[in-house]
Amino acid sequence: MRDVDPDAWTPPADFVSVPSTVDGVELWGPRPAEDDASAWARQSTKCPQCGASAAFDPGAGALTCRFCGYVQEQQARTVGTAAEQNEFTLEALRQFEQGWGVERRELHCSDCGANLAVEEGGMTATCPFCSSNHVNLQEASQAGIRPKFLIPFAVKSDVLEKNLRTFLGQGWMFPSSLAQLAKTDKFVGIYLPFWVFDARMDGVWRAQIGHPHTVTYWENGKPKTRTEIRWKWESGGASDTVNGLLVPGTTRISAKIAQRVEGFELDALKEYAPAFLAGWRAMTYDLALPEAWDHGRARMRERNRATNEAQAQRRTGHVRSFTMTADFEDERWRYVLLPMYVSAYVYGGKTYQVLVNGQTGAVAGQKPVAWWRIAAAIAAATTPSIFVGICLGVPLTLFAGIGFAVMIVGFLMFLGALWWGWGLWQRALDAESA
Amino acid sequence: MTPATCDRCGADHLVPDGELGTCPTCGRAELQAAEADPEAGQPELVVPFVLDDAAALKAIAAHVREGGWFLSGDTSPATLRKTLRRCWWPQWLVDADLDGVFSLEVGFDYQVKSNKERFDGSSWQTVEEIDTRIRWEPRVGRIRRRLHNVETPALRDHEGWAKRVGPTERSTARPHADADLHGAVVRLPDLPPASAWAEALPALTDAAGALARSGASAEHKRDITLAGRWNDQHWTWLLLPIWTASYADHTGQRWLFVVNGQTGAVTGARPKKVALLWLVWGSLAASGFAASVFGALLTLVSIPLLTVAVGAVLMIVGIFLFVLGLLVGVFACIPLFGGLSWNKAQRAIQPP
């Protein structure tokens, strides 16, 4: 043992004193990550030059002042997919960190119930979810954890407008006037809460696999063959690793629409800095971690089931009584803020929601359907079959049996047109629903 | 008590006056009277015996039974009783003031929720599982404390016999009385404090780490390093209760059984008689060979008789005997190789 003078000894610089419960034992441990409370302390986003309100500019990627042109570069580290992950500890599930940090308050929409964290002073705003102007100020919610990572807005308003016009102008089943509603001042840039999940699933399946077997038998003194399926219990297994599964942390936006614009590049994840939120809205989660994990796990296990079923199918193509187990391992989660432009607009007395990915510019949303166009398309699709079946088939029955064949062809065409029409109807409903 | 030493194993003892007898440490030589060591201290504490001689013999008998068949020598209780000796084996308890600094990693238990999902063909059922994991964190610190009663070996072969009979609970230790030593053999430390200090340091370091772990309210510790000064060391001679007995195998080689006088744990070699193993193998192999030959001949003889029913019966019996003989010949090797392998393991317990 080395001879060290304990009085002259000093702990490492990055260690701090920690409590000891034993007399005569002094302890030092690594300095904890910067205290959350101080990291999230209220910070001013005022311009240090002119005192005006500064905001984060997606074009400059910096905090800028539109009055004096001051630009403050952001030093936040890009952590990407290496961003710290959390385990599903019982402690984490019970205790969520709280508060927002930047001087913000919560706007509560009395019409749709959405909670929006906005900067102090932003007491009036149009709710992007229901276009309501009737909002009430509510003290910021304390029930929540703090998102430690975010992707800053990168899409500028001109790109946004162009993408939006393209989206609204696409498709023949929508009203022609729809594109005219694409006005960026109706869109609100908002950091939406997302849960990011990683996990590995080890699936083990068991099923009856059918093995085709040719059987020879005699009929009227002649040998004939037929194929029989012999079922055997077999088993197998396949693992899946899922990284970066996104589940919206809010029920205020349509999960379906959010999934369409989810193509976020998580490599751009940055450590949270208050400046990124300056001038933008941010929303706290209202879908808590356990519930979000239920959604995420359901998607993951279905993926693992598809992998295992495909493996079973590859044996012979005949599978029945398929059962499986999926063990989740190394489950991790992150809570992040992702940039999204949100809007709601009214058309024909109905409200429709549109989301634009604030990182990539991808657009998705509800669109009002011109139902008369759908009806016309279905009518156009079924008309030829009616013509063939009735106008051609019925007269031809007077001459020969071929008329029945034509009627059958017409009926089949009718069924095909109905099938296509049903699909079109569903797509239209899907486009209009949230 | 009389000082005595074993010329074969070198162990020093104090034996009752006029009772030299067989060395209770190796069981293979007679103890010789020796000069008293004026620097030898006095034992201070004893851990009392829980097992009496009958219980010790019973424990040895159970240990012998676990050895299975073909054991060499007379291990009957009557024989073992003749050599059974009540012994005290030494161990040091060290007290010392520590003034030093340390670093280690402390582990905190935490619980994680995981899921197992089962798909029954139509829907999923979820079973939640709670796993306990350890979060390791580095700690450094300063320690100024007196460490008490840190167990330290007093015997060079501590890692051998003493460790194989398992730990002894010290909570019942008390100052020794003359009655404790009456009729018993006391084995003297062959690691005096000056020599035992190097052996004591790991245990003292571990004890310091345990204090640091406790101070951090952690459940685990690892990777302890310690630097500093040890002062005011005090060594306490503790006596541990041991029963020993020995027996001779068929070659005259003596083997020792050691019993923990508190827990009844037994260690000791039980070699098998090699000649008996070969005899068994030879008998079985010869029987198998004979059965095979007879079966083969019977089969050959039965061929011309196949036209009558008895021919078929003879052929079946012949083939059966042939196969049975081969199997007996093959399986005859199992007790032989198993016994030789067993003896190799026994020699590791106590080399001949």
Q: Among A365, A396, A421, identify where a domain stops.
A: A365
Domain identity same for A151 and A288 = yes
Residues B242 and B284 in one domain: no
Query: Is the Cβ of A325 closer than 8 Å to some Cβ of chain B?
Result: yes
- A413 lies in some domain: yes
Distance from CA of B99 to the nearest CA of A (A): 7
Distance CA B291, CA B280 (A): 16
Q: Assess if residue A327 is contained within a domain.
A: yes
Cα–Cα distance for residue pair B15/A142, rounded to 1 Å? 78
Residue A229 lies in a domain: no
Determine which of B120, B129, B142, B211 to mutate to test the interface with A (most A C-beta atoms within 10 Å): B142
Secondary element (H or E) of residue B235: strand B220-248
- Per-run averaged pLDDT (10 residues), chain A, 434 residues: 76 92 93 60 64 77 82 80 84 59 52 60 50 43 64 82 79 81 66 92 96 91 91 95 91 80 87 79 81 92 95 93 95 91 75 85 86 89 86 76 81 92 89 74
Are residues A27 and B111, on separate chains, in Cβ contact within 8 Å? no
Nearest-Cα residue of chain A relative to residue B125: A325
Q: Are A297 and A414 within one domain?
A: no
> Are B288 and B185 in a shared domain?
no
Say if residue A288 is in the same domain as residue A146.
Answer: yes
Same domain, B262 and B325: no
Of B138, B215, B228, the CB nearest to A25: B215
User: Is there a single domain that holds both residue B248 and residue B333?
Assistant: no
Inter-chain contact A28–B110, Cβ cutoff 8 Å?
Answer: no
User: Do residue B255 and residue B337 come from a single domain?
Assistant: no
Q: Where do we find the tokens 């995420």?
A: A296
Pair B162, B302 in one domain: no
Detail the DSSP E strand segments found in A135-271. Answer: 135-138, 149-150, 188-219, 222-248, 270-271
A150 and A290 part of one domain: yes
Q: Are residues A383 and A355 in the same domain?
A: no
A75–chain B nearest CA distance, Å: 29
Nearest to A27 among B114, B212, B227 (CB): B212
**In terms of Cα–Cα distance, which of B58, B49, B102, B103 is closest to B77?**
B58
Do residue A191 and residue A293 come from a single domain? yes
Please report the residues numbered 172 through 231 in chain A whose beta carbons come closer than 8 angstroms to any beta carbon of chain B.
Answer: none
The token pair that represents A223 in the structure block: 């040998």
Residues 6+ apart with CB under 8 A from A339: A150, A151, A152, A153, A154, A155, A189, A190, A191, A192, A280, A357, A358, A359
Claim to verify: residue B7 and residue B80 sit in the same structural domain: yes
In a domain, A108, yes or no: yes
Does the distance separating the beta carbons of B117 and A25 come in below 8 Å?
A: no
Chain B: nearest CA to A232, how far in angstroms?
17
Q: In terms of DSSP H, where are the helices of chain B? A: 53-65, 77-83, 163-164, 178-181, 193-215, 274-302, 309-331, 333-349
Distance of residue B172 Cα from the nearest chain A Cα, in angstroms: 26
- Mind spelling out the 3-state secondary structure of B101-119? EEEEEEEEEEEEEEEEEEE
Q: Is the reported ipTM for this assembly greater than 0.85?
A: no
Is residue A144 domain-shared with residue A246, that is, in the same domain?
yes
How many residues are recorded in chain B? 352
Helix axes B309-331, B333-349, angle to 10 degrees: 10
Contact check, Cβ <8 Å, A3/B229: yes
* B215-247 pLDDT, tens digit each: 999 999 999 999 989 999 999 999 999 999 999
Nearest CB among B121, B141, B201 relative to A1 is that of: B201
Q: Closest approach of chain B CAs to the CA of A328, in angstroms?
A: 6
Mutate which of A1, A31, A242, A330 to test chain B, going by most B C-beta atoms within 10 A? A1
Helix (H) or strand (E) holding A414: helix A402-432
- Running DSSP on this structure, what letter comes out for residue B22? B
B43/B83 same-domain check: yes
Minimal CA separation from A49 to chain B, in Å: 45
Question: Based on the structure, what is the number of domains in chain B?
Answer: 2
Closest-CA distance of chain B to residue A410, Å: 38
**Is the same domain home to A338 and A377?**
no
Question: Which residue range(s) make up the domain with A87?
Answer: 49-199+239-365
- pLDDT score recorded for residue B38: 73
User: Taking CB atoms and an 8 Å limit, are A26 and B143 in contact across chains?
Assistant: yes
Q: Is residue B167 part of a domain?
A: yes
Number of Cβ pairs < 8 A linking chain A and chain B: 125
Report the C-alpha dihedral over residues B5, B8, B10, B16, rounded to 10 degrees: -20
Residues B263 and B315 in one domain: no
Beta-sheet pairing, A188-219 with A281-282: parallel
Host domain of residue B34: 2-93+147-191+234-270
Search chain A and give the residue with CA nearest B118.
A325
Do A188 and A301 lie in one domain? The reply is: yes
pLDDT of residue A434: 62
Task: Please check whether residue A303 is in contact with residue A240, taking contact to mean a CB–CB distance below 8 angstroms.
Answer: yes
B21 and B50 both lie in a single domain: yes
Contact between A44 and A103 (Cβ < 8 Å): yes
**How many structural domains compose chain A?**
2
Q: Do B228 and A93 touch (CB under 8 A)?
A: no
* pLDDT per residue of chain B (352 residues) written in tens, 0 to 9: 888 999 988 889 989 888 888 888 888 888 888 887 777 778 899 999 999 999 999 999 999 998 888 888 888 888 899 889 999 999 999 999 999 999 999 999 999 999 999 999 899 999 999 999 999 999 999 999 999 999 888 988 877 777 788 888 988 999 988 888 888 999 999 888 888 888 889 999 999 999 999 999 999 999 999 998 999 999 999 999 999 999 988 888 889 999 999 999 999 989 998 899 999 999 999 999 999 999 999 988 888 887 777 888 888 999 999 999 999 988 988 989 999 999 898 888 877 6
Contacts of B216 in chain A (CB under 8 A): 18, 20-21, 27, 29
Is residue A169 assigned to a domain?
yes
**Amino acid identity at A179:** A
Same domain, yes or no, for B309 and B173?
A: no
Does residue B113 sit within a domain?
A: no
Question: Which chain A residues touch B112 with a CB distance below 8 Å?
Answer: 87-90
Q: Would residue B130 count as lying in a domain?
A: no
Cβ–Cβ gap A328/B226 under 8 Å: no
Boundary (domain end) residue, out of B222, B252, B270: B270
Please check whether residue B42 lies inside any domain of the structure: yes
Give me the residue from A4, A11, A322 closest to B227, CB to CB: A4
Cα-only R_g, chain A: 31
Contact check, Cβ <8 Å, B100/A329: no
Which of chain A's residues have a Cβ under 8 Å away from the Cβ of B141? 11, 20, 25-28
Query: Do both A309 and A247 map to the same domain?
Result: yes
* Interatomic CA distance for residues A156 and A66, integer angstroms: 15
Q: Is A420 inside a domain boundary?
A: yes
Question: Is B279 found in the same domain as B238?
Answer: no
A6 and B124 in contact by Cβ < 8 A? no
Asked if residue B155 lies in contact with residue B188, where contact means CB atoms within 8 angstroms, the answer is no
Q: Do B119 and A21 touch (CB under 8 A)?
A: no
B142 interaction partners in chain A (CB closer than 8 Å): 6, 9, 25-26
Q: Are A152 and A77 in contact (CB under 8 A)?
A: no
Give pLDDT, residue B304. Answer: 84
Q: Considering A321, A339, A365, which residue would you say is the last residue of a domain?
A: A365
- In DSSP notation, B258-279 reads EEETTT--EEE---B-HHHHHH
Q: In this complex, which of A1, A28, A322 lies closest to B141 when CB atoms are compared? A: A28
> What distance in Å separates residue B238's CA from the closest CA in chain A?
26
CA distance A83 to A335: 10
Asked, for residue A212, whether it belongs to a domain, the answer is no
Strands A188-219 and A319-347 come out as antiparallel
Chain B 113-152, residues with CB within 8 Å of chain A CB atoms:
113-121, 124, 126, 130, 133, 137-145
Residue B323 covered by a domain: yes
* A304 within some domain: yes
Closest CA to A129 of A288, A362, A295, A365: A365
Cβ separation A331–B114 shorter than 8 A: yes
Q: Hey, are the CB atoms on A29 and B142 less than 8 Å from each other?
A: no
Same domain, A352 and A376: no
Tokens of A17: 């004193």
Do residues A379 and A262 share a domain? no
Of A310, A342, A365, the residue at which a domain comes to its end is A365
